[in-house]
Structure 1
Amino acid sequence: MTDSRKLLLASIHDVGPRAEAQVDQLADLLSSLLGGPNFAMLVVPDHWGEAPLAGNAAYQAKLRHWADQGIEMFVHGWFHKDLAQHSGMAAFKAKHMTASEGEFLGLSQREAAQRMADGRKLIEDIIGRETAGFIAPAWLYGDGARAALAEAGFPLAEDHMRVWRPTTGEVLARGPVVTWASRTKGRQLSSRFFAGLARHGLHGLDVARIAVHPGDTTVPALLDSIRATYASFARRRRAGRYGELLHKA
């Protein structure tokens, strides 16, 4: 039975022309599972420096169409690629939590602020409205990124364990995001295992978050797990918008 007081926040990461076919596939999948375009998209302005949104009129039109449908658009870094040298805990995160994708883990405050501002302006100019917030690639934020984010004016931000209001630090939702990893067999198995646990153990959360990536479409077993997980949560709660958290606070 659906509990309208509880939210399901669904998202597609790494949206852009670099993975256009896979993003289209995921958008169709989530629309069918959630009864329409009830999800967010995390948009990368120039994925790995290979797929710039600037100048790509066809993809810009696609983003505007999605935004017009009501899909929330988040700024998702700039390049997504992490080119920094890390030490200590940051080196551990860069090695074990992502594959050179944590762009904002090692940036200075100045560089992080510039990329945030540039990404926001580009995407907002394309979609003709404000972006929903900022989410760092791989959900990883270094000290410079956190400092920049606090001053950037984004309404929302998200990491693995929470959604918060960057201007005040107020936490708006807690709980692990359910996601999948396609990079290795071991990561595929572990992410499927966690998703299975989530389908039984996370229904008590007021806000459940489930995120998919273009690479998930390359592994049929992951797609099966994604379908089962979204269906399980959608039966018990309504698919909503991240922006609703601002009004609940």
Structure 2
Amino acid sequence: MPGSDNRSLLASIHDVGPGFEREVDQLAGLLTNTLGCSSFAMLVVPDHWGRHPIRSGTPFASRLRSWSESGVEMFVHGWYHKDTVEHRGLPGLKARYMTAREGEFLGLSCCEAARRMEAGRALVEDIIGRKASGFIAPAWLYGPGAMEALRDSAFDVAEDHMKVWIPRTGKVLARGPVITWASRSTARTASSLAFAALGRRMLHPMRTIRVAVHPGDVTRKSILSSIETTLRCFAGSRQARSYQSLLTTPGVE
């Protein structure tokens, strides 16, 4: 088993935007207090469902910059987060069962995926005054067009359910399932709580553990308790780090 100095805990808050400011505040406080630092990521949605645009010069933009300056990593997380494409076959099953119409990049063409990626990168970097850490598609779902666009993009890091990789080269930086929670229904909540509990027992041999939280998590006390328990479980034996640190840590794959 790798030494604890080489083992990482990567935590992230998804769906960051002005429509979920209160929830993001609560989650950021939970992560900071539990980890004892600001070594986690925020996944920024430029205009969540076309209803909550982020604009330079606004109070929320100032908050993003402040979080970034405190050490929080900023990722581009799609543009709308909403999937408006009609899918068939396997993509249709993914769109229906893996997310509630939020896999924005599952059915986009390469051209449209590249346009949204670049627009998101430009917006986030203009606001925070530094390079975005990477790109993570909404619901971790990438179609062929998105994968092609990502390979040609300027992003250093990407992530899906099972790995973190370098888009330009395809090199895998970390493997293993991300621990996350679902609040949309009682059944989904129960299954996510069970998976988190299983992960706390079974995933310790992994070099890199990933934990992802969402604004909806704050609506269920059972999920908040599970998040805190999971973070404390892994933080005791590994360092909370940034995704960017994987680029300079030898042997992380």
| Range class of TM-score, shorter chain | over 0.9
Which amino acid is 1:238 matched to? Q
Q: Is contact 2:179–2:196 with CA below 8 Å preserved after alignment?
A: yes
Separation in structure 2 between the aligned mates of residue 181 and residue 107 of structure 1, nearest angstrom: 25
Separation in structure 2 between the aligned mates of residue 126 and residue 5 of structure 1, nearest angstrom: 32
TM norm structure 2: 0.96
Separation in structure 2 between the aligned mates of residue 130 and residue 106 of structure 1, nearest angstrom: 27
Separation in structure 2 between the aligned mates of residue 246 and residue 174 of structure 1, nearest angstrom: 14
How far 1:55 moved relative to its partner? Answer: 4.8
How far 1:56 moved relative to its partner? Answer: 5.7
Separation in structure 2 between the aligned mates of residue 28 and residue 4 of structure 1, nearest angstrom: 25
How far 1:115 moved relative to its partner? Answer: 0.1
Q: Residue 32 in 1 paired to residue 33 in 2?
A: yes
Q: Is contact 2:56–2:127 with CA below 8 Å preserved after alignment?
A: no
Identity among equivalent positions (%) equals: 56
Which amino acid is 2:234 matched to? F
3-state SS in 2 of match to 1:166: coil
Separation in structure 2 between the aligned mates of residue 92 and residue 236 of structure 1, nearest angstrom: 38
Aligned length: 248
Separation in structure 2 between the aligned mates of residue 5 and residue 239 of structure 1, nearest angstrom: 11
Find the counterpart in structure 1 of residue 214 from structure 2.
213
3-state SS in 2 of match to 1:94: helix
Q: Is contact 2:165–2:174 with CA below 8 Å preserved after alignment?
A: yes
Find the counterpart in structure 1 of residue 186 from structure 2.
185
Find the counterpart in structure 2 of residue 165 from structure 1.
166
Which amino acid is 2:222 matched to? A
Find the counterpart in structure 2 of residue 152 from structure 1.
153
Find the counterpart in structure 2 of residue 102 from structure 1.
103
**Per-residue displacement from partner, 1:138-163 (whole Å, max 9, x unpaired)?**
00000000000000121000000000
Cα RMSD after superposing both structures: 1.0
**Per-residue displacement from partner, 1:145-194 (whole Å, max 9, x unpaired)?**
00000001210000000000000000110000000000111100000000
Find the counterpart in structure 1 of residue 176 from structure 2.
175
Find the counterpart in structure 2 of residue 11 from structure 1.
12
Find the counterpart in structure 2 of residue 92 from structure 1.
93
Separation in structure 2 between the aligned mates of residue 90 and residue 24 of structure 1, nearest angstrom: 34
Find the counterpart in structure 2 of residue 74 from structure 1.
75
3-state SS in 2 of match to 1:13: strand
Find the counterpart in structure 2 of residue 54 from structure 1.
55
Q: Is contact 2:7–2:207 with CA below 8 Å preserved after alignment?
A: yes
Which amino acid is 1:233 matched to? F
Separation in structure 2 between the aligned mates of residue 75 and residue 56 of structure 1, nearest angstrom: 18
Q: Which runs of 4+ in 1 moved over 6 A?
A: none
Q: Residue 238 in 1 paired to residue 247 in 2?
A: no
How far 1:88 moved relative to its partner? Answer: 0.6
Which amino acid is 2:6 matched to? R
Find the counterpart in structure 2 of residue 133 from structure 1.
134
How far 1:248 moved relative to its partner? Answer: 2.2
How far 1:31 moved relative to its partner? Answer: 0.2
Separation in structure 1 between the aligned mates of residue 44 and residue 34 of structure 2, nearest angstrom: 21
Find the counterpart in structure 1 of residue 118 from structure 2.
117
